[in-house]
Structure 1
Amino acid sequence: MIAQAQAVLLVICPALLIVAALKDVTTYTIPNWISLALIAAFFPTALILGLPAGVIGLHVGLGVGALIAGMVMFALGWIGGGDAKVFAASALWLGWPASATFLLVTALAGGVLAFTLLAMRSMLLRRYVSAGPAWLSRLAEPGENVPYGLAICIGGLAAYPASTLVQALTAAPPL
C-alpha cells in the first residue's frame, strides 16, 4: 500500500510538466500554480521516499541555481517568466546527476522547437498551419514568442527516470 502511494507521488512531476507544456503551447503562459504545486509536492515526496536531508539540500541548491539561471535567461529575453519558474521547479525534482541530462535535452529540444517554429512561420508553410486551430495558427505567426515550456517538459521527462526520487523508489525494498 505504501509503495503504491509513493508511486502515485512520483507521477506529480511528469503530470505537471505536461500541463505546463500544453498551457505554454496553447496560451504562451505557464500559470504560477504549476510551479508552486511542483515545489510544494517535492518536499513531502522526498520525505516519504526517505531521501536524506543532505540529498534534499542538494535538490534545493540545484533548484535555486536553476532559478538564478532562469532569471538571467528571462532578463536577457531568452525565455518567459513562467518558463524560468518551471525550469527551477523541475531542477528541484530532478536532483543530481539527472539535472545534467535535463539541461542537455532541454537545450536540444529548444533548438528543435526553434527550427520547427521557424519552418512553420515561413511563407511556404504558414498558410497550411493557419488553417488549423487558433493556437496552432498563433504559433505560426512571425515574431511570436517561443513556448519554451515545451522544451523544458521534454527535458524534464527525459531526465526524470534518472532522478534521485525515482531511484529512491526503485531501490527501496518492497513493503
Structure 2
Amino acid sequence: MLEALIFVVFPFCMLFAAVSDMLSMTIANRVSLILIATFAVVAPLTGMDWATYGWHFAAAGLVLCVTFAMFAMGGMGGGDAKLLAATALWMGFSVELVAYLVYAAIIGGLLTIALVFYRGSNIATLTGTNLFLRNFANEKAGVPYGVALGISGLLVYPATAPMQWALARLVAI
C-alpha cells in the first residue's frame, strides 16, 4: 500500500499540474498540498530518519523562499512557486533537487522559445481555438511553466529516496 502511494501520488500530481497549467494557466493549491501531506505521512514510514526528514522540509522551505521572492518580483506564478517547493520536499537537499531545477530551467527555456515562435506563426492562428493549445497561442498569456515543472519532476523522480525505497521493496518481494 505504501509503495502504491509512492508510485502513484507524485507522478499523478506532476501530470495534473502540467495539464492544468496548459489548460487554465493555473496550478491548484491542492496539488501542492497533496504532495506535502503525502510526503509528510509516507516518508517516516519508509524508515527515513528524523534528521533527513527535517532536511527535506528545510529544502522545501528554502525553495519556497526563493520562489516566493521571484513571485513577488513578477518572475513566476504563485502556483509554480508552490509546486517547486512541494516537489523539493520529495527530493530534499540532493543531486536530484539540483537535477530537477536544472531540467526545469532548460525545459522551461525551451518551452518559452517554442512559444515565442509558435505565437508568431500562422499555425497559432489555425490552432488557437484548440482546448490544449489556446493558452500556448495566446500572446497575452504567460508561459505555462507547470508543463516544464511536471516533465522535470517526472524525469528526476525515479532517482529520489522515496522511489528508490519503494523499488527496493518490490524487488525484495
TM-score by length of 1: 0.90
Distance of 2:34 and 2:140 partners within structure 1: 32
Contact 1:42 1:92 in 2 (8 A): yes
**Aligned partner (choices 68, 71, 78) of residue 68 of structure 2:** 71
Distance of 1:69 and 1:111 partners within structure 2: 19
Extract structure 1 runs of 4+ deviating beyond 4 A.
Answer: none
Q: How does 1:1-175 map to 2 (within 5 A)?
A: 5-10=1-6, 11-95=8-92, 96-130=94-128, 132-172=129-169, 174=172
Distance of 2:26 and 2:67 partners within structure 1: 15
CA RMSD of aligned residues (A): 1.6
Q: Percent identity?
A: 34
Structure 2 residue matching 1:51: 3-state secondary structure: coil
How many pairs does the alignment contain?
170
Distance of 1:15 and 1:23 partners within structure 2: 12
Per-residue CA deviations over 1:43-63 (Å, capped at 9, x if unaligned) read 111012111111111110110
Which sits farther off after the overlay, 135-144 or 104-113?
Answer: 135-144
Which sits farther off after the overlay, 155-164 or 19-28?
Answer: 155-164
Structure 1 residue matching 2:133: 3-state secondary structure: helix
Distance of 1:133 and 1:168 partners within structure 2: 41
TM-score by length of 2: 0.91
